[in-house]
Amino acid sequence: MAVYTTLTDSDMRGLVADYYLGELVSFQGISGGVENTNYFLTTTTGKYVLTLFEEFEFDEVPYFLDVVAHLKHKGFNVPAALIDNHGERLRTVKGRPAIIVDCFAGGLIDGTSVESCRLMGKVLAQLHTAGMDFPEHRESHRGIEWWRNTSKAIAPELEPEQAHLLLAQVAEFDTFIADYDDQLPKGTIHGDLFYNNTLFEGDQLSAIIDFYNACYAWLMYDLAIVINDWCTDFETGELDMDKYHAMINAYVHEREPSAAEIMAWPHMLRIAALRFWLSRLEAWHGAKDDPERLAQQHDPMEFQRILEARVRFAPSLMEN
């Protein structure tokens, strides 16, 4: 389970006493998620989530808190950091940067449906539009340099045909950048809007969480990330075309893509698949000597299958 930093009862009581949250009643580590340590906290005033950032140092975190604050200001239900009784939203807990946010109603969905994909397509376009005037522009920490370096480091660990696929796709990506980079609209993107980063109450989206891959990047890349997770049959890697059409149609109804975005779309689907195949491979190899940590990791093969499927067939954006 993904609790990398353990807090005792007395640690937690001391922390809660520093917020206007009443008395601590109980707390519980959250097993979902692989990147950060998360705890549910119940206090006499309600339910909250404590996040300890395991991948970022203190100075890197304010950007993400600012993205969320901006989107909250625009009316989205997103987890803004609560202010402690020293006036701070970010603090250090057990050596890690940490925040407390409201715990949202609703729960994780078991899987997606045509209707949830339609809804997500619409909301994603609205998120992109709302992020256009966010003034801070941070490059992704899993962007171009990361995947060039990581693919080189990981390739020798793979089977020859996997290494070939990985390096060939990175090379294709380098050519793509040279041809398209300047032409594609960028904005503030979520960067990891998998369906396990949304909460639903019935068929209503109640919140979007986990903005810690947010960055300034191609908007279509974000849509491709979402499509690859929400609209894929994970056994085969193939797209579910009913979900795909529902999401794409809802997105383009809200935000019309440019000609360059339409041309670049098949590449986006492959680049988005490559990015998560590579991050899962990196996490997998980083954890391979620690069985407990290895068991928590997401399966890289899922995204290898998705990438292979998008190499075989990547549908166009507008022929719906």
Q: Residue numbers of the site for ligand LJ64HWYM (CB under 6 A)? A: 33-35, 192, 194, 196-197, 210, 276, 279-280, 298
Shortest separation between residue 72's beta carbon and ligand LJ64HWYM, angstroms: 20
Binding of residue 209 to ligand ADP (CB under 6 A): yes
For ligand ADP, the closer CB: 36 or 232? 36
Binding of residue 28 to ligand ADP (CB under 6 A): no
Q: Which of 141, 165, 307 is nearest to 224 (CA)?
A: 307
For ligand ADP, the closer CB: 97 or 266? 97
The residue number with the shortest CB distance to ligand ADP is 33
200 alpha carbon, distance to own chain's centre:
17
Binding of residue 108 to ligand ADP (CB under 6 A): yes
79 binds, among ligand LJ64HWYM, ligand ADP, none (CB under 5 to 8 A by kind): ligand ADP
The answer to whether the beta carbons of residues 278 and 147 sit under 8 Å apart is yes
151 binds, among ligand LJ64HWYM, ligand ADP, none (CB under 5 to 8 A by kind): none
Q: Which of 98, 101, 215, 264 binds ligand ADP (CB under 6 A)?
A: 101
- The two structure tokens encoding residue 315: 């549908």
Shortest separation between residue 149's beta carbon and ligand ADP, angstroms: 23
Give the burial string for 138-172 (b: 16+ CB within 10 Å, else e).
bebebbeebbeebbeebbeebeeebeebbeebbee
The answer to whether the beta carbons of residues 188 and 67 sit under 8 Å apart is yes
- Three-state SS for 53-74 is CCCCCHHHHHHHHHHHHHHHHC
280 binds, among ligand LJ64HWYM, ligand ADP, none (CB under 5 to 8 A by kind): ligand LJ64HWYM
Report d(CA 186, CA 240) in Å as an integer. 27
Strands (E), 130-278: 186-189, 198-201, 204-208, 215-218
For ligand ADP, the closer CB: 35 or 261? 35
Query: Residues 32 to 51: which contact ligand ADP by CB under 6 A?
Result: 32-36, 38, 49
The 3-state DSSP class for residue 242 equals helix
Q: Which of 294, 293, 237, 296 is nearest to 269 (CA)?
A: 237
**Taking each helix axis from N to C terminus, what angle separates 144-154 and 160-180, rounded to the nearest 10 degrees?**
160
| Number of residues lying near ligand ADP (CB under 6 A) | 20
The answer to whether the beta carbons of residues 114 and 246 sit under 8 Å apart is yes
65 alpha carbon, distance to own chain's centre:
15
Q: Which of 67, 189, 210, 251 binds ligand ADP (CB under 6 A)?
A: 210
276 binds, among ligand LJ64HWYM, ligand ADP, none (CB under 5 to 8 A by kind): ligand LJ64HWYM
Binding of residue 297 to ligand ADP (CB under 6 A): no
- The two structure tokens encoding residue 46: 């309600």
- The two structure tokens encoding residue 115: 């209707």
298 binds, among ligand LJ64HWYM, ligand ADP, none (CB under 5 to 8 A by kind): ligand LJ64HWYM
Shortest separation between residue 191's beta carbon and ligand ADP, angstroms: 12
Shortest separation between residue 49's beta carbon and ligand ADP, angstroms: 4
Q: Which of 1, 69, 82, 103 binds ligand ADP (CB under 6 A)?
A: 103
The 3-state DSSP class for residue 91 equals strand
The residue number with the shortest CB distance to ligand LJ64HWYM is 33
Binding residues vs ligand ADP (CB under 6 A)? 2, 30, 32-36, 38, 49, 79, 101, 103-104, 108, 196-197, 199, 209-210, 212
